[in-house]
Chain A
Amino acid sequence: MSDTRPDSSISHAVIEVLVNILSVSEDQVTPESRLVEDLDADSLDFSEIAAALNARGLRVDKAAVKSQATTVADLIALVDSPSGSV
């Protein structure tokens, strides 16, 4: 793909999962939002987020979510190119 921006359907799916699992409103979820500091995610949430994304057919590694995704944009990028670096 020549377009390097994340697929918007992936962005939507990630935001929907975050809203659901972290019990936050959609307004609170911006690309810059930090998962732990701003959205109060904890270790159980990271596991749930990865499981929910996988259930939607979006392959993402649980350990990578925990270790590499600081912001919402990081998480979207990780889902967009699971094998790539963030």
Chain B
Amino acid sequence: MGAQPGRRSVAVTGVATTTPAGDRVEELWRVLIEAEGTLAGKFGTPDDERGIPGFACRVPAAVIERQGAGRLGRLSRRLDPATRLGVYTALDALTDAALVDHLPGADHDRTGRFAVVAGTAFGASTTVEAPERGTLFVPMAMHNALAAAISLATGFTGPSLAVSAACATGAVAVGEGVRLIRDGLADVVVAGGAELLTARTLAGIGASGALSGRRHGPLRSARPFDAGRDGTVASEGAAFVVLESLDHAAGRGAREYGRISGYATNCDAHHLTSPSPGGRVAATCMRAALADAGIDAADVAHVNAHATSTMVGDAAEARAIAAVFGPRRVPVTANKGVTGHMMAASGAAEVVICLLSLARSMAPPTANTVAVDDDLEIDLVLGRPRPLSAGAALSNSFGFGGHNAALVLTSAAATPEQP
């Protein structure tokens, strides 16, 4: 424990997810608990001659429209679709946090204490609807478009940071948000990520060799840690959390989903797309997050794995988990068997899922995995949900480029620190 343990943890007081399961967190939880398979379907329309011969998990357009209805006025048409998805989800998280009566309004001394950290992996530039609309091309396609749009939509004048760490983006956004509060630069941070797929990005991920080839059985395609895993399923989504200093949350009597007590990020510096052998640097990242939270591996009751269902990625992560926690010592679950890989949204969505898992003392099972690869010494939650003993949770996220991020989550009741 540090000298000021009360200043290490940050409260999570609002959550929102927009995923292939819809725009309600409870729906996401339900499909994860049921674990009936990957929420995947054909990408593109069947009558499209040039149709991409692939599949993915999609967020239904109707869900995004419903979320957005009447919320941004004219700002809406100045934003790329991926940015809109992110803004709507960020606003959902702020609504969930019941901050409406506590928003700073036009009081500039206070607006500066409200901050944004957000990102996408591919950037809005890949989904921009009409690049020929020259006037808006740059404001729509700039990599900070999402963070800027959230600040604009909320009136938050504190730091507004765009982060991008490929598939670890959502987790890095949350972690950097935690740091803003710890460093005393903000009282409230809305943090997360958003991603939409296009034919171009899907083809690109496919070309990199990361996608499952199970075209005849998309529902059984993503199989984290399974001996027969053959790649990930690309997916779309957005996920945001509202982070709040313990003092600010207590001052307004906010409901807490839980706390973020530790964060670490580092980089393999090994290869553009392949993890370091044995997940050595990822293991260092997990240990650093535990140290940041002031706890030991033995204090962790659950690990939410990044596990995208690729051969090398899952193997490296399993070895890293076994190295940090001991072989088969901690229940591990992997959500991407259901959600697919929501790219920049995954890390933030998994924070939300992890917090619910802690609050409900229940880990959702890993969908589709029949038998864990013999080589991998992890205790994977399979078949049915697993009751969890008291303790902290650790959520992993890793991205192309070698980016690693780990977050340590605790339940509000169990955290010894008080504001």
B416 at the interface (CB under 8 A from A): no
Which of A23, A40, A51 meets B133, CB within 8 Å? A51
A40 to B139, CA, bound (A): 19
Tell me whether A44 and B78 are in contact in the complex, defined as CB-CB below 8 angstroms, given that A51-B133, A51-B135 are known contacts.
Answer: yes
State whether B77 touches A23 (Cβ < 8 A). Answer: yes
A17 at the interface (CB under 8 A from B): no
A22 at the interface (CB under 8 A from B): yes
Interface on chain A toward B: helix, strand, loop, or mixed SS? helix
Chain A: minimal CB distance from B137 (Å): 11
A60 to B139, CA, bound (A): 23
State whether B134 touches A51 (Cβ < 8 A). Answer: yes
B74 at the interface (CB under 8 A from A): yes
State whether B74 touches A47 (Cβ < 8 A). Answer: no
Chain B: minimal CB distance from A40 (Å): 7
Chain B: minimal CB distance from A61 (Å): 15
State whether B135 touches A40 (Cβ < 8 A). Answer: no
Number of interchain pairs (Cβ within 8 Å): 16
State whether A44 touches B135 (Cβ < 8 A). Answer: yes
Please name all residues of chain A whose beta carbon is closer than 8 Å to the beta carbon of B136 when the two chains form the complex. 44, 48
Please name all residues of chain B whose beta carbon is closer than 8 Å to the beta carbon of A48 when the two chains form the complex. 133, 135-136
Please name all residues of chain A whose beta carbon is closer than 8 Å to the beta carbon of B77 when the two chains form the complex. 23
Which of B73, B134, B135, B139 meets A23, CB within 8 Å? B73
A23 to B74, CA, bound (A): 7
| Chain B residue with Cβ nearest A46 | B135
Chain B: minimal CB distance from A42 (Å): 9
Q: Which residues in chain B, 104-153, are within 8 Å of chain A measured between CB atoms?
A: 133-136, 139
Which of B74, B78, B134 meets A40, CB within 8 Å? B74
Please name all residues of chain B whose beta carbon is closer than 8 Å to the beta carbon of A40 when the two chains form the complex. 74
Report the interface size for chain B: residues with CB under 8 A from the other chain.
9
A44 to B135, CA, bound (A): 7
Q: 1/0 contact trace for A27-67 toward B, CB 8 Å?
A: 00000000000001000100110010000000000000000
A23 to B77, CA, bound (A): 9
Chain B: minimal CB distance from A75 (Å): 16
Please name all residues of chain B whose beta carbon is closer than 8 Å to the beta carbon of A23 when the two chains form the complex. 73-74, 77
Tell me whether A44 and B74 are in contact in the complex, defined as CB-CB below 8 angstroms, given that A51-B133, A51-B134 are known contacts.
Answer: no
Please name all residues of chain B whose beta carbon is closer than 8 Å to the beta carbon of A44 when the two chains form the complex. 78, 135-136, 139
Chain B: minimal CB distance from A55 (Å): 8
Please name all residues of chain B whose beta carbon is closer than 8 Å to the beta carbon of A47 when the two chains form the complex. 135
Chain B: minimal CB distance from A17 (Å): 13
A51 to B77, CA, bound (A): 16
Q: Which residues in chain B, 43-85, are within 8 Å of chain A measured between CB atoms?
A: 73-74, 77-78
Please name all residues of chain A whose beta carbon is closer than 8 Å to the beta carbon of B78 when the two chains form the complex. 44
Q: 1/0 contact trace for A3-16 toward B, CB 8 Å?
A: 00000000000000
| Chain A residue with Cβ nearest B73 | A23
| Chain A residue with Cβ nearest B74 | A23
A75 to B136, CA, bound (A): 21
Chain A: minimal CB distance from B68 (Å): 13
Chain B: minimal CB distance from A36 (Å): 14
Please name all residues of chain A whose beta carbon is closer than 8 Å to the beta carbon of B135 when the two chains form the complex. 44, 47-48, 51
Q: Which residues in chain B, 242-291, are within 8 Å of chain A measured between CB atoms?
A: none
| Chain A residue with Cβ nearest B132 | A55
A44 to B134, CA, bound (A): 11
Chain B: minimal CB distance from A81 (Å): 24
Chain A: minimal CB distance from B56 (Å): 32
| Chain B residue with Cβ nearest A55 | B132
Which of B74, B133, B134, B139 meets A22, CB within 8 Å? B74
A16 to B280, CA, bound (A): 61
Q: 1/0 contact trace for B72-102 toward A, CB 8 Å?
A: 0110011000000000000000000000000
| Chain B residue with Cβ nearest A47 | B135
Chain B: minimal CB distance from A6 (Å): 25
Please name all residues of chain B whose beta carbon is closer than 8 Å to the beta carbon of A22 when the two chains form the complex. 74
A22 to B77, CA, bound (A): 10
Given A40-B74, A47-B135, 14 other A-B contacts at CB below 8 A?
A: A22-B74, A23-B73, A23-B74, A23-B77, A44-B78, A44-B135, A44-B136, A44-B139, A48-B133, A48-B135, A48-B136, A51-B133, A51-B134, A51-B135
Nearest 6 CB-CB pairings of A with B: A47-B135, A48-B135, A23-B74, A51-B135, A51-B134, A44-B135
16 A-B pairs with CB atoms under 8 Å apart are A22-B74, A23-B73, A23-B74, A23-B77, A40-B74, A44-B78, A44-B135, A44-B136, A44-B139, A47-B135, A48-B133, A48-B135, A48-B136, A51-B133, A51-B134, A51-B135
